Amino acid sequence: MEKPDLDGRTALVTGASKGIGRAVAVKLADMGARVAVNYNTSDAAAATTVDAINARGGEALAVQADVSDPTQVSEMVARVSQAWESVDILVNNAGIIDDGLLVRMSDNAWNRVMATNLNGTFYCTRAVVRGMMRNRWGRVIHIGSVVGIRGNVGQTNYSASKAAIIGFTKALAKEVATRNITVNTVTPGYINTDTVDVLQQEQKDRIMTWIPMGHFGEVEDIAHMVGHIASTKSGYLTGQVISVDGGMAI
């Protein structure tokens, strides 16, 4: 019987207590990886993710850290490395929104979103990439957003943070390519998560007109793509921005 593709690898998934992060964590565990489930405040939800992985025969560990704080990120990576030696796969999924029209957007709303979405991606990646370079193998996968490509009214801060991650992806991919490390971004469209659930039906109907496939995606759609990129068979795929959005970015 063939070993699971990621057998012996360690993955760190940020913001993995629920939604896309949880689905990604479970997918990577199903592929054989040991998974560190990062969360900031949702400790009970993170425990649910860990329990879900353990119930399927996987191995998981919950690790608390605010990814916008470089000290907490360094301590988190140290805990994971102490438990499992190194981080081979990083999925930068943690993100927040603080929507509003630009003319009324506060400095705090701008800075909070940038601190978590963009700075958090930088801090987490910097903390693990040296070990990947030493081991000459790694997968860095960012969860971006379709609005980082096409923009969205009331989301200049969020759109800017996700667009910046695209440039980050392409630059880092060039820096680490010779060390057998790939760097890619998956850009989800509207996915059935808590964020979409709270929208009014009128809003959902309007958004649906932007999606050629005519329906929202599921968290498993994103997890499947992340699993493909993380696979040992995807070693020649790097610097790419892959939209999983029902055609919304077309």
Answer yes or no: is pLDDT of 1 > 60.
Answer: no
Please list the active-site residues: 158
Q: What is the pLDDT of residues 39-98, one digit of tens each?
A: 999 999 999 999 999 999 999 999 999 999 999 999 999 999 999 999 999 999 999 999
Q: What is the pLDDT of residues 26-43, one digit of tens each?
A: 999 999 999 999 999 999
Q: What is the pLDDT of residues 144-156, one digit of tens each?
A: 999 999 999 999 9
Q: Are strands 241-244 and 181-188 parallel, antiparallel or unpaired?
A: parallel
Mean pLDDT of 93-112: 97
Q: What is the pLDDT of residues 157-213, one digit of tens each?
A: 999 999 999 999 999 999 999 999 999 999 999 999 988 887 889 888 999 999 999
Greatest Cα pair distance in the chain: 60
- For the chain, what are the domain ranges? 10-243
Crossing angle, helix 156-176 and helix 120-135, to 10 degrees?
A: 10
Cα separation, 143 vs 219, in Å, equals 12
pLDDT of 5 reads 93
Residues 6+ apart with CB under 8 A from 46: 16, 17, 37, 38, 39, 62, 64
pLDDT of 245 reads 97
Fold entry, domain 10-243: Rossmann fold (3.40.50)
Number of H helices, E strands in the chain: 10, 7
